[in-house]
Amino acid sequence: MKKIVFLCIALTTLVLNVSSAFGYEGATTLNLSVSGERGIVEIYVRATFLYTYNRNGTAIGGGYITIKNDKGATILVGNYGEKGVTLTVPYDTTDVTTISDPNIIFYATAYSFLDPVQYVVQKSYSITTDNAFRLSASPLVWSSEEQTQVVINYDCPLSDQYGLFRMLSEAGGTLLYEQLYMSGQVGSLVVDVNSYFLRPGAHTVTLLGNVINKPISSTSELDIMVKGPNVAPVAEAGADQTVHVGEIVTLDGGASSDPDGNVPLTYEWTFVSWPPQGGMPILSDSTIVNPQFTDVLPGNYEIQLVVTDSLGAASVPDTVIISTINTAPVAHAGDDESVSLIGATEDLDGSQSYDDDGDPITYQWTFVSVPAGSTTSLNGADTATSTFVVDVHGDYEVQLVVSDPWTQSTPDTVMVSFNNIKPVAFAGTSQTVVLGNTATLDGSGSFDANGDYLTYSWTLSSTPVGSLALITDPTAEITSFIPDLAGTYIAQLIVNDYYEYSDPSTKQVLAITQQTAVIESVQVIETVIESLGSAPELPLEDILKNTNMQNTLLNKLNAAIANIVDGNYADALGQLQNDILGKTDGCAESGSPDKNDWVRDCGSQSLIYQAVLDAIGLVEGLL
């Protein structure tokens, strides 16, 4: 917790001492001094002197004094009689911006009414605010079961003045709290913040205070650690999959998240059931985000995922079905919508629903709840895009279920409301980066149905063991981090519209070594070559000089990969340049295949040629 020093401009007492006499007798000096007293909010100018004498020695009075600052602005003009006078200038009519400078030069000029003698003195003073308004806050401990209070202690020299205290949000400057108070020597404000959006975790709020009708104000930041009941993380075992017998299955828990940001998460996968004709499969690693298993048998596999946050809270288990028979379709009812007019027609869109097997699906929309008194109904309830008319102020919750010929989906719901709609976070699509390069995190696809301004909070919910990677600016819409170890990183984004937080959105970033990147680039070439001849209108014999050359090219690429694995990068480069590129470059260089080309079709050549160039560039980076 920081100690907050809230500085206000504390003016000092300006004392003008005019000593001795004016005229021909006595000393002719004019002394200017500045002294400070705690609690002064006005400038006092006191002109004192003995007497003013004329040439004959007769005491006569009268004269005037002008005081200017170093910028030439007049801050005081006053007349004085023979006994002297005290002149007062209210604080808020002075040149405040000048007086608040660290070093001020004041000019005092005095004239006698009878003698045309001008006495001038200038002197520089350092005016500090060290004895001014001080503000500090006690630690804020948050609990959903208790009233939350933060005590703001202040100490200000101002008395009998009204002040205004504000607490602003950590981003965007939205007002969280304000209170009017009467300033004094010392005091405290108790701020109840239980109703604000602060959630457990670290926050920075801005404290702002000022004295009303006085140019005395300042701001400072306060770090608040909000502690409260830990909310369990949410496990997402991924979408159900339909696979072929014998395939390798990759599981995906990357959408798992923690609403409190208590990361990193740990993962635990277990088999719930498997086909009876075989034993329980073995996962490649049951504690990582995306483990694999092999040797799939006919039937269904049910796998369970539990995630645990950094404070030890475990999620409710989530399961995924891996089937060689049929996978249930997935319903998507669309994003929540905001409405403002009675009588408006709302469009519902379930067109993003799908079936992993490619089976045809049917749609069924139903109301889960409507406001009291509503008589609205759904139009096109059995189509992908349904509509209804909003007839009563309130919340409308609509459910979509889709079905394939064998089973139906889990219901998905959409909310249409006159009230605030929870914003939607979008962390972006997954990406692969080479170790040491920058991974960009882009949350610009996040949105708020009400059009409210959004703030952003990024965390790395999962990293390779031992990684010290940090997000550059966790509160920016677009930010980045640099992976320091090879492996999978899960970036989590939560957005806030100053009313409530979104559900977390996650993005996977796979960091690979430069060597791995090169190998994968060569494998891309293999994939292209393997696909040659797959189109009936262009058989393999029309593409290659000899159909056996397809396997020969693949063997050459495998040899290049072996050299890359062994660190023989120069040999691998030679193989790619001579054995592959030299046999696929005629169209690129001359517009038609040359005598050395094995691939006789320019369309096929262009696909291979560009992939080979990409791989060559990566291999050269290893040399």
DSSP assignment of 56-96: TS-EE--EEEEEE-TTS-EEEEEEE-TT-EEEEE-GGGS-H
Checking if the pLDDT of 179 tops 80, the result is no
| Chain centroid, CA 36 distance in Å | 46
Length of the chain: 623
Residue 489 pLDDT class (50, 70, 90 cuts): very high
CA distance 437 to 439: 7
Q: What's the pLDDT score for residue 253?
A: 93
Residue 417 pLDDT? 93
Among 177, 175, 233, 182, which residue's Cα sits nearest to residue 212?
Answer: 182
338 or 175, higher pLDDT: 338
pLDDT at 316 exceeding the cut of 90: yes
Domain edges within the chain? 13-126, 134-226, 233-325, 337-417, 431-512, 515-620
Distance CA 269, CA 543 (A): 46
Lowest mean pLDDT among 140-149, 246-255, 526-535, 539-548: 140-149
- Is 60 exceeded by the pLDDT of residue 6? no
DSSP-derived pairing of the beta strands 241-242 and 318-323:
parallel
Distance in angstroms (rounded) separating the CA atoms of residues 238 and 221: 41
CA separation for the pair 167, 463 (Å, rounded): 35
Q: What angle do CA 156, 159, 164 make, to 5 degrees?
A: 65
Q: What would be the CATH architecture of the domain defined by 233-325?
A: Sandwich (2.60)
For residue 140 the two structure tokens come to: 């804020």
pLDDT band at 10 (very low <50, low <70, confident <90, very high): very low
Query: What is 293-347 written as a DSSP string?
Result: E--PPSSEEEEEEEEE-TTSPBPPPEEEEEESS----B------EE--STTPEEE
Residues above pLDDT 70, as percent of the chain = 63
pLDDT at 427: 94
Model confidence at 363: pLDDT above 90: yes
Rounded average pLDDT over 439-461 = 92
Position 7 pLDDT exceeds 60: no
What is the pLDDT of the chain when averaged over all its residues?
A: 75
The mean per-residue pLDDT over the stretch 590-602 comes to 89
- Work out whether strand 385-389 and strand 345-349 pair parallel, antiparallel, or are unpaired: antiparallel
Q: Do 134-226 and 431-512 fold alike per CATH? A: yes
Higher per-residue confidence, 215 vs 561: 561
Q: Checking DSSP bridges between strand 337-338 and strand 412-417, what pairing results, if any?
A: parallel
| Both tokens assigned to 323 | 């089937």
Q: Which residues of 547-562 are buried (b: 16+ CB within 10 A; e: fewer)?
A: eebbeebeebbeebbe
Q: What is the DSSP string of 338-386?
A: E--STTPEEEEE-TT-B-TT----EEEEEEEE--TT-----BSTTSSEE
What average pLDDT does the segment 2-30 reach? 33
Q: What percent of the chain has pLDDT over 90?
A: 38
Whether the bond into 116 is cis, omega within 30 of 0:
no
- The rounded distance, in Å, linking the Cα atoms of 35 and 43 is 11
More confident residue, 526 or 50: 526
Q: What is the pTM of this model?
A: 0.59
Q: Give the lowest-confidence range in 134-143, 243-252, 357-366.
A: 134-143
Any idea which of 42-51, 449-458, 595-604 has the lowest mean pLDDT?
42-51
Q: From CA 473, how far away is CA 239, in angstroms rounded? A: 32
CATH architecture label of 134-226: Sandwich (2.60)
Per the CB < 8 A criterion, the answer to whether 517 and 617 are in contact is: no
CATH of 431-512, one of 3.30.1370.60, 2.60.40.10, 3.40.50.720, 3.40.630.30: 2.60.40.10
Pick the residue with more confidence: 288 or 202? 288
Q: For residues 238, 244, 247 and 249, what is the CA-based torsion angle, rounded to 10 degrees?
A: 10
pLDDT of residue 43: 36
CATH of 337-417, one of 2.60.40.10, 3.30.930.10, 2.60.40.1080, 2.60.120.10: 2.60.40.10
> Which residues does 552 contact at the CB level (< 8 Å), separation at least 6?
none
Output 331 or 129, whichever has higher pLDDT.
Answer: 331
Which of 27, 43, 102, 114 has the alpha carbon at shortest distance from 75? 43
Which whole-number Å values give the CA distances from 152 to 77, 185, 186, in the listed order? 42, 14, 11
* pLDDT band of 147, cuts 50, 70, 90: very low
| Count of C-beta atoms within a 10 Å radius of residue 55 | 10
Q: What is residue 28's three-state secondary structure?
A: coil
Contact of 419 with 500, CB cutoff 8 Å: no
Each residue of 55-93: pLDDT tens digit?
444 444 455 666 665 556 665 566 554 444 444 433 333
Mean pLDDT of 264-271: 96
Domain 13-126 part of CATH 1.10.1740: no
pLDDT number for residue 141: 40
Its sign, for the CA torsion 152, 157, 160, 163, is: negative
pLDDT value at position 159? Answer: 47
pLDDT recorded at residue 79: 59
Spatial separation of the C-alpha atoms in residues 11 and 41, rounded to whole Å: 6
Q: pLDDT-based confidence at 541, cuts 50/70/90?
A: confident
| β-bridge pairing 478-481 and 455-462 | unpaired
Confidence category of residue 49, pLDDT binned at 50, 70, 90: very low
Which band of pLDDT confidence, cut at 50, 70 and 90, is reported for residue 125?
very low
Predicted local confidence at residue 204, as pLDDT: 59
**538: Cβ contacts below 8 Å, ≥ 6 apart:** 601, 604
> What pLDDT does 301 receive?
95
Q: Which residue in 279, 291, 295, 276 sits closest to 238, CA to CA?
A: 291
The residue to which tokens 């007086």 are assigned: 99
Tokens at 171, concatenated: 């981003």
What is the rounded distance in angstroms from the CA atom of residue 208 to the CA atom of residue 221? Answer: 9
